[in-house]
Homo-oligomer: A and B are copies of this chain.
Amino acid sequence: MIRNICKQRFSGRILLSTRSLTAKKLVYEGYGDPAEVVKLQEFELPDSLGPNEVQIRWNAAPVNPADINQLQGVYPVKPKLPAIAGNEGSATVEKVGPKVSVFKPGDLVIPSQSGLGTWRTHSIHGEDEMFPLDPKLNHIHASTFQVNPPTAYRMLHDFVKLQKGDTVIQNGANSAVGRFVIQLCRVFGWKSINIVRERPDIQDLKNDLKQLGADVVYTEEELAKNIREISNVRLALNCVGGKSSFQLCRTLTDQGCMVTYGGMSKQPTQTPTGPLIFKDISLRGFWMSHWYTVPENLAERKRMYQVLADLFINGGIKPAPYTEHRLGEYKEVLGIGLQAKKKPIFVFE
């Protein structure tokens, strides 16, 4: 929290302005190279709150691939410009308007929906724009709570009714979502077959994912070689597309389902035609942001959040490796962007 010292000095109305606050935000007015289009701006936070508004102090906000794509202008959702960057983050409630009933100062919250603009130190919102989290959650874990863990959770629950011992296959297993898929499969008693790209440190990665609970970790090449020995897979999770999605489909059993949530290869999602027709497999897609917009999902959101929060708190699941950054480092952070091995997280404390 930074007091608005400059203004105090030049305005001469020192006593009247001591309660106003200079906050910071990362703003963009056009699309392009993320490190170039984003600008750090200071702004004065209004001193007054509407009856149903809450003032929050952001704790932390991750830099997700979707944020980068949005800045590049290649994401299907384009905010009205100028916009504040960032879609995910955790915050603590500082002040509440007189008619706010859901929140009190000190509460831990995250945005109700995507697109709020989370790369900033403070903001004021309608209370319905925020969603409560278990206050026992670590603030940094809470900042990456909204997208990846629920994405893994929903994809594992909403498409196929998995029984204990059933098998799930996924590509991009080293992604943030992929790591939650591995951990949730371990927690719920499902076997996971995890496909990653070949790389120099492949054995380290395999050990890392196996420590999270992965039953099998294969490179794409190893999957192709062993595919005839894999059967009875009920659910495939695809964030790659192209040949990788084709191979995933080949492992599906009757009425198995492949859920696509990304297309890292930039190739069309592919499936062999035979299993579509003769095994009645299906291809679906999943988008967490859309799920949150469906009013009927509210009760299930609360229930799922408690399940996931409990798992975070008792150490049953943990986020993918991350690095902490100050907001002022945004040019370096957005410069490395998607290439970063660890997820960059802005920490505002």
| Interface size band for A | 20 to 34
Which residues on the B side are within 8 Å of A273 (C-beta)? 241, 260, 262-263, 268-269, 285
Taking a contact as CB atoms under 8 Å apart, the answer to whether B278 and A76 are in contact is yes
Chain B, Cβ-Cβ closest to A276: B285
CB neighbours of A260 from chain B (8 A): 273, 276-277
Given the complex of chains A and B, what is the CA–CA distance between A329 and B271 in angstroms?
A: 39
Using a CB-CB cutoff of 8 Å, which residues 282-298 of chain A contact chain B? 282-287, 290
Given contacts A268-B246, A269-B271, contact A262 B277 (CB under 8 A): yes
**Is A274 an interface position by the 8 A CB rule?**
yes
Residues on B with C-beta less than 8 A from A241 are 273
Among B263, B271, B277, contact of A261 (Cβ-Cβ < 8 Å): B277
- B278 lies within 8 A of A284 (CB): no
The answer, yes or no, to whether A280 is at the interface (CB within 8 Å) is yes
Q: How far is the CA of A192 from the CA of B61 in the complex (A)?
A: 48
Question: Which 10 A-B pairs have CB atoms at the shortest separation, nearest pair first?
Answer: A263-B273, A276-B285, A283-B283, A268-B270, A277-B285, A260-B276, A76-B278, A277-B287, A269-B273, A269-B271
Given contacts A269-B276, A277-B285, 17 further A-B contacts (CB under 8 A): A76-B278, A241-B273, A246-B268, A260-B273, A261-B277, A262-B273, A263-B274, A263-B277, A268-B272, A268-B273, A269-B271, A276-B284, A276-B285, A278-B287, A280-B285, A280-B290, A283-B284
